[in-house]
């Protein structure tokens, strides 16, 4: 399998490379690069900055919203190209949020300010673990619930109907944590499997081999 990994900083790609190595050969790309013409099997969208709220019809509402519009536009083009070629796409954290917006969904710009529990990011910006409830194919893989790691302050608000997908996981405070579209071969998770050595992280890799 040939994998194209989009990240904001090549220097922070190590965890992704270690995580994805069992799937195949990984090539890193950043938004200041030219999109390659290679025949890839999977696009992986990594974590990073917030998505520009203008892309889902809002303005920046909070001081802690940090965007990189060039990266948003670049990754939108990547997603379009992979969809046109019928190739699989996997979004992690920011990548999950970018796919949400690409397919017409909206985001909470700051979870705690909008009423969610402080379970999605540590007080000092570190990863935290929390429980999720699984459904659909993830329930088949992982059972009814499991523990994942998170480090984000935004989340899915309006489900992306154009995705034609299903919700695979929700947090205990009812935030959508994962979705999958068989139609478009798109999987997204809000947590960071590349930084969490768990059966769930390993199971996601197994699932990616099949989509």
CA dihedral 88, 92, 94, 98 (to 10 degrees): 20
Report yes or no: 8 and 31 within 8 Å, Cβ to Cβ: yes
Report yes or no: 154 and 97 within 8 Å, Cβ to Cβ: yes
- The whole-angstrom separation of Cα 171 and Cα 148 is 10
SS3 of 175, please? coil
Catalytic residue, candidates 75, 93, 120, 152? 93
Based on the residue annotation, tell me whether 63 is a catalytic residue of this protein.
no
Catalytic residue, candidates 75, 153, 194, 196? 194
Report yes or no: 30 and 10 within 8 Å, Cβ to Cβ: yes
Catalytic residue, candidates 152, 153, 192, 196? 192
Based on the residue annotation, tell me whether 192 is a catalytic residue of this protein.
yes
Based on the residue annotation, tell me whether 27 is a catalytic residue of this protein.
no
Instruction: List, by residue number, the catalytic residues.
Output: 93, 192, 194
């Amino acid at each position: 399998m040939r994998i194209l990994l989009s990240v904001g900083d090549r220097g922070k790609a190590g965890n992704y490379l270690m995580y994805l190595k069992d799937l195949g050969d990984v090539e890193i790309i950043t938004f200041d690069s030219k999109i390659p013409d290679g025949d890839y099997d999977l696009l992986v969208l990594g974590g990073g900055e917030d998505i520009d709220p203008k892309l889902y019809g809002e303005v920046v509402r909070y001081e802690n919203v940090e965007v990189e519009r060039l990266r948003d536009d670049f990754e939108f083009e990547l997603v379009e190209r992979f969809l046109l070629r019928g190739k699989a796409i996997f979004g992690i954290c920011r990548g999950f949020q970018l796919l949400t917006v690409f397919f017409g969904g909206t985001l909470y710009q700051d979870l705690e300010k909008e009423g969610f529990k402080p379970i999605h990011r540590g007080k000092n910006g570190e990863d935290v673990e929390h429980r999720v409830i699984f459904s659909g194919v993830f329930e088949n893989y992982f059972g009814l619930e499991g523990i994942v790691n998170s480090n984000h302050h935004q989340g899915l608000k309006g489900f992306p109907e154009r995705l034609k997908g299903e919700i695979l996981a929700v947090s205990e405070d009812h935030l959508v944590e994962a979705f999958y579209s068989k139609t478009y071969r798109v999987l997204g998770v809000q947590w960071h499997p590349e930084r969490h050595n768990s059966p769930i992280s390993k199971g996601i890799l197994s699932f990616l081999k099949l989509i």
